[in-house]
Structure 1
Amino acid sequence: MCNEITSDYLALQLGLYQPFIINEENADQFEACIKTPKKFQFDSYCIECKKESTFKFHSQRGYLPVYPPEHGPVNFLDRIKVDYPIDLLLKCQRDGDHLFYLPLLIRGNKVTKIGQYPSLADLQLHKIDKYRKILNDDYRDFSKAIRLNSQEIGAGSFVYLRRIFENLIEEARQTAASQESQWDNSIFDRSKMDEKIKLLKNYLPEFLVQNRQLYAILSKGIHELTEKECLDLFPNVQLAIELILDEKIHQKEKQKKISSVQKFVSATIERLKS
């Protein structure tokens, strides 16, 4: 287990129904995290405040077994031979009515998150809201990809990310076809994605052109990689898509400013002539 067992990990990184193993290396970490729930807290987006906040422990149902002193020291792993459901309730420090619910099931030497509210997807979707206008109808696909990933559906999430990538290419193709008199759609249609991107390099974000192999990663994820491999790759693939969209937003804003200044200069020159 490479992850440090902290309240952040349990609440914000561990996926649903994907158990992790308690072993000699992390048993003390996990026991300390659960045995002292009053120290259980983390920073996260509050879906009701619509701001970042701190969530702190409020109450708990279910406890790990405690052995009397006469039993002597008992190894933590020896104490978890039966099922122990533990439900943690945390409160937003901005508003105590805003709650975070985290139920865990300890079964033998495995810990499984068996639910969560708000969901991991709910906590992440606010981060992509700025792309709503630039994506238009593809915004729904982006949110679906994030929701599927939060539900441990790896290849399915890649399907929606690849669709966004393909639609960016199609949008650029339409622009090129409308602006270039010598544009040949038949050549474009016969080309592989790598060549299509090269043909459209003047109409696409530079980051996409430089990292066009992202499409190969998405396709490989859909057709060849395991669910776990897709899940492991998803955060960086999502980041790459976001960087592409960030560049599109920047270029759009830049063009808007250029247009505004051009109109100002033209109008001012005409006014000064009179």
Structure 2
Amino acid sequence: MRLTLSLAILLALPGVAAAEEQCKFSEPRSLDLQLTGVKSVLFEVASNDLHLDASPGGGGKLGGRACAARVELLKSLTVTQKRIGDKLVVSLNDDRRFSFGNSYSYLDLRGSVPNTMLVQFDVGSGDAQINGAAAVSADVGSGDMTIRHTKGRVTAKVGSGDVELEDLGALRVLAVGSGDLKAREVHGAAEVAKVQSGEIKLHGVAGNIKIGTIGSGDVDIRDVQGNVNVESVASGALNVRKVRGDLSVAHKGSGDIDVSEVSGSTRVPTDK
């Protein structure tokens, strides 16, 4: 009786009621990954949710549910796989071309992959997470991506979404648009090609940091064991704290540069 009453009270809370409403109808979904001879796996997440753990062994699988506002929408939600060379492409599909009003439908999946291969993500507006992979690449549109405990390098490209990284071997960022990328505990080097209007935080980097261009966005760097080299800061902001090596900024526009606690040499353009 106590459990029933507690559940009733819990479901009466606005947040819980909203969560239940977002999966009014559901069906199970599962897929055993065909990984024999595969060197990398690409997950096409789209607007769905996918959380993965990488573990020893050669197998992998996905399981979870399809959620929809109306029961007839469930049939449009599928999980498929296809082989392209030595890559396995796993697609989380919603076969509907358009959705209107309160007609949501999405996949909510959990799963496992081997911890010996490259795992790639193509995330639209969905939510993806992976723990313990050998190496990871992620192309994130407006969604969220969390990557933790990666032995090798993480490669990321961010549109307007959010990417959070923790405990990784090395980092390469191709571009950040208007989104955010946060990385901490980088055990090797970190390289960022360009930041547009978004924000990057790099905290705890064991190697060197190399940054190309900072447009109108913000870059915050702290606790670096190596050197920090920045090609240009346009109208954005660069904040640097606690660098054991050298700091150099080649070009500066109207932006702001704030530097403190650099053990090596500091070369920063002066304001004109």
TM-score above 0.5, yes or no: no
- TM-score band w.r.t. shorter chain: under 0.3
Instruction: Give the TM-score taking structure 2 as reference length.
Output: 0.25
Going by fraction, where is strand more abundant, 1 or 2? 2
Going by fraction, where is helix more abundant, 1 or 2? 1
Could you say which structure has the greater relative contact order, defined with CA pairs below 8 angstroms and 6 or more residues apart? Answer: 1
Instruction: Give the TM-score taking structure 1 as reference length.
Output: 0.25
